[in-house]
Chain A
Amino acid sequence: MIADPGPASPGTIDGTGPVDGEIETIGSGVAALLFELVAMLERFAESGERGTIDLRSLPMAPSEYALLRETLGQGEVSAELDLGGPSSVHETGFHAAWWVRHCTPDGEVAAEYIEVAAVPEILLADGADARRGAERLRARIAGWNPSADAEVTK
């Protein structure tokens, strides 16, 4: 039985997995998680209700984590973000189920979850973003002379 190594935690201090291979067992945690994901996808299809499963909060052996990733697979869409440390989003092989991972600037996984949504929230732009974008672009083009700019860059 594994207490709680978490997906980013090694089983031993050198990260090679549990010593002697005698402690690790594959529980039914992955199956339960997948059934929960099925229910969330059905709710989203019927009502548009979004949902998340926080993978870091679940006790999961490294082998269970690998099994989960392999089962969900890779879908059509992926994105890399630079948000004070790398983040990544990819759609799993099952539409509307997204695998989201946030890392620290050093690349350590800080949060990881499965999000059920049309588009993960971290990718969405909102009205305030658009307003700030408009302000910046307006300032950029105020008094703009494209030909002069081109001369400068030559």
Chain B
Amino acid sequence: MSTDKSVQTVNDMLDQHGISRRTFLKSCMLAASAMALSPMAGSAMAKELGGRRRPSVIYLSFQECTGCLESLTRSFNPTLEHLIFDVISLDYNDTLMAAAGEAAESAKEKAMRDNYGQYVLVVDGAVPLAYGGACHTAAGKSAVQILQHAVKGARAVVCVGTCATFGGLPIAQPNPTGAVPVPSLIKGKPVINLSGCPPIPVVMAGTLMHFFTFDRVPELDHLKRPKMFYGNTIHDRCYRRPFYDAGKFAESFDDAGARNGWCLYKLGCKGPTTYNACATLKWNQGVSFPIESGHPCLGCSQPGFWDGGSFYAALSTPKWGRAGEGSPSKAGEVAGASAGIGAGVGVAAAGLSRYRKYRRAHKAPAGMDAGGDDNTKEE
């Protein structure tokens, strides 16, 4: 409990909502477990966050489909993803807030003034630059103007979803709006990328909890993603991995291999080159993830996944360039011919994935925490 009655702490808020300290402790322990921290870290998290004033979060949406926000808000009560809305003070989100127009904009300006230098700016969606930014405007300002204004007083910027982190669908060829990823526009502020289409709710909530608890950016990979969630490929942690190692592959979506749960590599699974936590955290309250439901991983948390050729072409399929360039139909033609060599090349892909991980571990890229560099390129 705070000594200053005018300051509402997280514990105060939880108490008002009838959420017990033990329930909050449980949620923090789940978050710690998801972040590969000891459950005892969850206890420290509950104590640290509980006594603090609720941190201010300003959430901006640009070129996006609202799927990221849906992912976070459509989770089931009362999970960590739900509790995050009690832990933080969400001072601006034009989709969720009741206010609109000038009232909403005034609320945002007030929150930014009152929490200058302290608020966390969450952004989803890419930023269009073509036509003077006219493809996305709100309150008479372009997306880039809104972003630049909000970034000034932010403690850190959290880019949510593949559109914000790497450009996603808006940046896919032919990119008619001149969209760019959010990190490419940010200089001198810590940036955390939470890619995925959409990101896993626990990843979003857990990263914010981690930041507010430990008051620092978690350890990031070369694409500025928290290693605790993006440290392994889907393939590394996939429960079907033993079938891959044993050379057992589904050849079509309804053959015996598919029914027996064999590896989906030949059906286009991008798990070997995709870094995300779907295989361990799963979706829909831990029910399953795409591969467990019988569908290959699309690689949605990686840069350029929309332009990576057919979702159903094996990774071993040679590419003729980005989709929309040269001979887009060729990728599909080559897919059938090369799927047979998938297993051998797949081993090479997995090896390359491990090699990249090893290389990154031994040579950290410069400017990892500084922000402002180009986050859209894979190493």
Contact = CB atoms under 8 A, between A and B. Distances in A.
A104 B286 contact: yes
A113 to B, nearest CB: 5
Interface stretch (A27-35, A51-59, A65-73, A138-146): A51-59
B15 to A, nearest CB: 7
A23 B242 contact: yes
B107 to A, nearest CB: 30
B363 interface: no
Nearest to A14: B261
B33 A111 contact: yes
Contacts of A14: 261
A102 B241 contact: no
A102 B26 contact: yes
B40 interface: yes
Nearest to B46: A121
Interface string A1-29: 11111101111111000110011000000
Contact of A84 (B23, B36, B279, B280): B23
Interface string B3-24: 0000000010001000111110
Interface in A42-84: 50-52, 54, 56-57, 81, 83-84
Contacts of B26: 83-85, 87, 102, 122
A110 interface: yes
Contacts of B262: 19
A57 B293 CA distance: 22
A36 interface: no
A54 B21 contact: no
A19 B261 contact: yes
A9 B78 contact: no
B242 A2 contact: yes
Q: What is the predominant secondary structure among interface residues of chain B facing chain A? A: helix
Contacts of A9: 239
B1 interface: yes
Contact of A122 (B25, B36, B79, B261): B25
A21 B182 CA distance: 48
A149 interface: no
Nearest to B260: A19
A71 B36 CA distance: 25
A4 B280 CA distance: 8
Contacts of B23: 83-84
Given A84-B79, A132-B15, A110 B40 contact: no
Nearest to A12: B261
A151 interface: no
Contact of A13 (B20, B242, B245, B261): B261
Interface string A85-125: 10100000000000010101110111101010000011000
A115 B287 CA distance: 26
Contact of B11 (A1, A8, A50, A128): A128
A126 B33 contact: no
B285 A3 contact: no
A104 B39 contact: no
A116 B21 CA distance: 21
B286 A84 contact: no
B163 interface: no
A89 to B, nearest CB: 11
Contacts of B294: 13
Q: Which of A8, A10, A23, A110 has the most CB of B within 10 A?
A: A110
B317 interface: no
Given A12-B261, A54-B38, A128-B21, A108 B30 contact: no
10 contacts: A1-B245, A13-B261, A14-B261, A18-B242, A52-B40, A56-B33, A83-B23, A84-B27, A109-B286, A111-B33
Given A105-B76, A129-B20, 6 more contacts: A1-B245, A52-B40, A83-B20, A84-B26, A84-B77, A105-B77
Per CB-CB distance, the 9 closest pairs between chain A and chain B, nearest first, are A3-B241, A84-B78, A12-B261, A23-B242, A83-B23, A13-B261, A111-B33, A83-B26, A108-B286
